[in-house]
């Protein structure tokens, strides 16, 4: 009986540890190529306990005018999230953009399509939004604190 209780206790300890530190992953896909990565930055719900992994980034070759499909897991889609990105327009000028902010449980994917077929994507980032937006005193625009970020760097 003691042996059974010890085994049961060990099983509960192992189960309690399983997945507790697992962070959600995001998949970036262009054409037939996809990469799934963990977050480069991730915080708990209170935005107090945060971790950084600057090496956590997808690298994909995205042709000019190409689209990128983003898939997020339920852990991300249960909260507001969006995609922010930067691209070079046909004149070589960098332009920053943002998808709509997706409401909790509204969707688990987004297709990033640039305005002009000659535009070239430079980078993109899924942002899991944490706290309520805050007005930036310098610009008057709303800043959305990100609880988690998943990065795509476009290669040539």
Query: 64, 18, 51: which is closest to 148 by C-alpha?
Result: 51
Tokens linked to 106: 């509204």
Domain ranges of the chain: 24-155
What pLDDT score was predicted for residue 106?
A: 96
DSSP 44-67: -TTS-SEEE-TT-EEEEE--TT--
Rounded to an integer, what distance in angstroms lies between the CA atom of residue 58 and that of residue 76? 17
**CB-neighbour burial class of residue 124 (10 A; exposed 0-12, middle 13-18, buried 19+):** buried
> CA–CA separation, 40 vs 151, rounded Å?
7
Q: Phi/psi at 10 (nearest 5 deg)?
A: -65, -40
Q: What is the mean pLDDT of each run of 10 residues along the chain (156 residues)?
A: 35 37 94 97 90 96 96 96 97 96 96 97 96 80 87 94
- Cα(98)–Cα(155) distance, rounded to whole angstroms? 20
Helix, strand, coil percentages, rounded to 5, for the chain: 15, 45, 45
Task: Kindly state the helix (H) or strand (E) to which residue 41 belongs, with its residue range.
Answer: strand 41-43
**Residue 95 has what pLDDT?**
98
């Amino acid at each position: 009986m003691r042996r059974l209780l010890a085994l049961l206790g060990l099983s509960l300890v192992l189960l309690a540890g399983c997945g507790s530190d697992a962070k959600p992953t995001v998949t970036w896909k262009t054409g037939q190529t996809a990469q799934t990565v963990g977050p480069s930055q991730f915080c708990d719900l209170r935005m107090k306990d945060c971790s950084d992994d600057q090496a956590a980034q997808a690298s994909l070759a995205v042709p000019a005018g190409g689209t990128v499909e983003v898939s997020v897991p339920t852990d991300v889609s249960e909260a507001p999230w969006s995609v922010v990105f930067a691209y070079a327009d046909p004149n070589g000028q960098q332009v920053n953009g943002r998808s709509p902010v997706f409401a909790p449980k509204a969707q688990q994917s987004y297709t990033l399509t640039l305005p002009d077929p000659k535009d070239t994507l430079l980078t993109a980032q899924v942002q899991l939004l944490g706290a309520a937006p805050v007005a930036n005193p310098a610009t008057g625009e709303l800043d959305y604190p990100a609880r988690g970020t998943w990065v795509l760097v476009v290669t040539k």
